[in-house]
């Protein structure tokens, strides 16, 4: 795509996002239902495109250019298709995040301020393999009145293309629905152009591995929502219940060891009496224990766990704030005061007491849909639901009020919040 082509696509997306701000919940939900139905009806075409991609991906797999897990995520079957369709219907049932009145305040008689939620604008989504991301993000964008420009992995090109074509054709049948809300780019060159287009793109959401996220964060001025690393910790305090400690550490490491919320480092209070029992249980669960890792920053994403004894809870907190990634950490203790201290002073998106770090997830938190997990310190942190895709504007309504009257003291603000 020529540079001008990308810019004109981005301008169209921006215009569509403005139009989408005015859409009613009814139109948006009708659109989601039309999309779900169209995907269901056209699934044979999707499977066909997916088979083409799988054939190409197999050569990449054989060349070692694709990992087996990425290959597996690429494959769509009846079950995944059913989940995709169900996911869209689930999103249609969420409350509309747009046009919520967050504050209504009379500044003075006849001068009323409203803080109202509204879409962010244009989202750039960059993801790898999983073609189900297309339908999920499209549904979230429709529901939250945002435009999206999607960029999937080349290994899923045909599947991604047909899915978005089907979605856009379905949207064309919905009266009043703007054109160009959802679009797709395919080349690395276009990704570079997107990362440069801070005039048009308001937020970038990378969904993929560490190196993808790091690359994006280093190559754009546009805000990025996501996380590069998930170096999660469990700290077993002096007064820990050994049964809880064993259960939680084993779950956090073995239940799905390549997830970002899996535990990577176990810190143990030096006076915890049953530390040997804990370490043996973890080892017996098939986990390789590493007492002297090359670096405490490492995300293993594997059945490997670094561990270390610490002097006290303060040293544990210090270690986590120094080497952690701000994702999710858990303390195992029967001492509620210690737990409170840990949860207040550990500077992470999730701070847990006596539970597995694996709970860090939008669906488990009850958000209905997950945009991603963020380790940012602004806008949205932790598992991000659809609320992370909106911002707000201030509407001020009066009948000729001017600032001069207030500056001169002729009028005074009274700032009364309205129900």
Q: Hey, which residues between 295 and 354 contact a second copy (CB under 8 A)? A: 317, 321, 339, 341, 343-345, 347-354
| Contact between 217 and a second copy per CB under 8 A | yes
Taking the C-alpha atoms of residue 284 and residue 158, their distance in angstroms, rounded to an integer, is 44
Please say which residue, 170 or 194, places its beta carbon nearer to a second copy.
194
**Residue span 258-297 as binding mask against a second copy, x where in contact by CB under 8 A, dash where not:** ----------------------------------------
**Near a second copy in 110-169, by CB under 8 A:** 111, 113, 120-121
Please say which residue, 303 or 343, places its beta carbon nearer to a second copy.
343
Please say which residue, 111 or 268, places its beta carbon nearer to a second copy.
111
| Contact between 102 and a second copy per CB under 8 A | no
**Helix, strand, or coil here: 94?**
coil
Count of residues making up the chain: 419
Q: Tokens 């959401």 correspond to what residue?
A: 205
- 3-state SS record for 245-308: HHHHHHHHHHCCCCCCCCEEEEEEECCCCCHHHHHHHHHHCCCEEECCCCCCCCCCCCCEEEEE
Please say which residue, 209 or 223, places its beta carbon nearer to a second copy.
223
- In whole angstroms, the minimum distance from the beta carbon of 306 to a second copy comes to 21
What is the C-alpha radius of gyration for the chain, rounded to an integer number of angstroms?
25
Give the residue, chosen from 52, 179, 395, 418, that forms a contact with a second copy under the rule CB under 8 A.
395
Give the residue, chosen from 41, 273, 289, 396, that forms a contact with a second copy under the rule CB under 8 A.
396
CA neighbor of 129 nearest in space, from 184, 70, 176, 76: 70
Taking the C-alpha atoms of residue 402 and residue 359, their distance in angstroms, rounded to an integer, is 52
336's CB contacts (< 8 A; 6+ apart) are: none
| Contact between 208 and a second copy per CB under 8 A | no
**Near a second copy in 20-79, by CB under 8 A:** 21-22
Taking the C-alpha atoms of residue 116 and residue 109, their distance in angstroms, rounded to an integer, is 20
Please say which residue, 51 or 414, places its beta carbon nearer to a second copy.
414
DSSP classification of residue 154 = G
Query: Do residues 128 and 70 lie in contact, with contact meaning Cβ atoms separated by under 8 Å?
Result: yes
**Near a second copy in 228-247, by CB under 8 A:** 241, 243-244, 247
# binding residues, a second copy (CB under 8 A): 78
Please say which residue, 120 or 279, places its beta carbon nearer to a second copy.
120
| Contact between 82 and a second copy per CB under 8 A | no
Scanning 39-47, 215-223, 283-291, 299-307 for contacts with a second copy by CB under 8 A, the matching segment is: 215-223
- In whole angstroms, the minimum distance from the beta carbon of 400 to a second copy comes to 4
Please say which residue, 30 or 355, places its beta carbon nearer to a second copy.
355
Please say which residue, 270 or 363, places its beta carbon nearer to a second copy.
363
CB neighbour class for 397 (10 Å; exposed up to 12, middle 13-18, buried from 19): exposed
| Contact between 183 and a second copy per CB under 8 A | no
Scanning 135-143, 249-257, 286-294, 302-310 for contacts with a second copy by CB under 8 A, the matching segment is: 249-257
Taking the C-alpha atoms of residue 206 and residue 136, their distance in angstroms, rounded to an integer, is 14
| Contact between 226 and a second copy per CB under 8 A | no
Please say which residue, 97 or 121, places its beta carbon nearer to a second copy.
121
Q: Tokens 């190409």 correspond to what residue?
A: 56
149's CB contacts (< 8 A; 6+ apart) are: 9, 10, 13, 122, 123, 124, 125, 183, 184, 185, 194, 201
| Contact between 378 and a second copy per CB under 8 A | yes
């Amino acid at each position: 795509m020529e540079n001008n082509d990308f810019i004109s696509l981005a301008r169209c997306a921006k215009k569509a996002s403005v139009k989408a701000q005015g859409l009613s919940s009814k139109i948006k939900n009708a659109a989601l239902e039309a999309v779900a139905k169209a995907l269901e009806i056209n699934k044979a075409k999707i499977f066909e495109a997916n088979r083409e991609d799988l054939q190409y991906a197999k050569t990449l797999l054989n060349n070692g250019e694709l990992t087996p897990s990425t290959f597996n995520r690429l494959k769509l079957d009846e079950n995944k298709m059913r989940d995709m369709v169900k996911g869209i219907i689930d999103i249609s049932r969420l409350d509309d995040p747009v046009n919520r009145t967050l504050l209504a305040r009379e500044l003075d008689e006849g001068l009323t301020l409203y803080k109202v939620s509204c879409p962010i604008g244009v989202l750039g989504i960059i993801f790898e393999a999983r073609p189900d991301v297309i339908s999920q993000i499209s549904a979230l964008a429709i529901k939250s009145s945002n435009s999206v420009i999607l960029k999937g992995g080349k290994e899923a090109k045909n599947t991604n293309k047909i899915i978005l074509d089907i979605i856009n054709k379905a949207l064309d049948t919905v009266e009043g629905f703007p054109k160009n809300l959802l679009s797709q780019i395919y080349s690395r060159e276009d990704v570079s152009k997107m990362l440069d287009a801070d005039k048009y793109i308001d937020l970038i959401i990378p969904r993929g591995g560490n190196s993808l996220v790091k690359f994006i964060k280093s190559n754009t001025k546009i805000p990025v929502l996501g996380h590069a690393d998930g170096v999660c910790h469990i700290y077993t305090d002096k007064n820990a219940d050994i049964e809880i400690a064993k259960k939680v550490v084993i779950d956090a490491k073995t239940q799905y060891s390549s997830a970002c919320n899996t535990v990577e480092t176990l810190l143990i209070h030096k006076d915890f009496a049953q530390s040997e029992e804990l370490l043996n249980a973890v080892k017996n669960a098939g986990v390789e224990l590493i007492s002297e890792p090359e670096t405490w920053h490492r995300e293993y994403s594997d059945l490997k766990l670094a561990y270390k004894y610490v002097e006290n809870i303060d040293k544990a907190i210090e270690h986590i704030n120094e080497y952690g990634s701000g994702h999710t950490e858990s303390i195992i203790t029967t001492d509620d005061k210690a737990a409170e201290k840990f949860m207040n002073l550990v500077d992470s998106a999730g701070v847990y007491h006596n539970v597995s770090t694996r709970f860090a997830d939008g669906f488990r938190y009850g958000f209905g849909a997950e945009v991603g997990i963020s380790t940012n310190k602004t806008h949205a942190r932790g598992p991000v639901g659809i609320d992370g895709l909106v911002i707000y504007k201030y509407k001020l309504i009066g009948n000729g009020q001017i600032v001069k009257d207030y500056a001169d003291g002729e009028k005074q603000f009274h700032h009364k919040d309205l129900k």
